[in-house]
Amino acid sequence: MSQQNVSITLDAELLKRLDALSEETERNRSWMIRQAVQVYLDELEDLKIARQRLQDKRLTPSQLRKAIGV
């Protein structure tokens, strides 16, 4: 997978937290930011799927019982 550089601006407090965690975990800033973005995007994609499923088809309790054979 090819990689590209991206520039971001962080406030001092966020950068301080990032550096502290980077030092604690012995990972560099780039690795930490890459992981954070990956987790965030995964969560947003999961949320999108969940919202789509909610809109697809809603069953009443009696329809659900019939669908599962209860």
What pLDDT is attached to residue 57?
Answer: 74
**Residue 18 contacts residue 32 (beta carbons within 8 Å):** yes
Alpha-carbon distance 61 to 68, whole Å? 11
* pLDDT single digits (tens) 21-67: 999 999 999 999 999 999 999 999 999 998 888 887 777 888 888 88
Question: Is residue 10's pLDDT more than 90?
Answer: yes
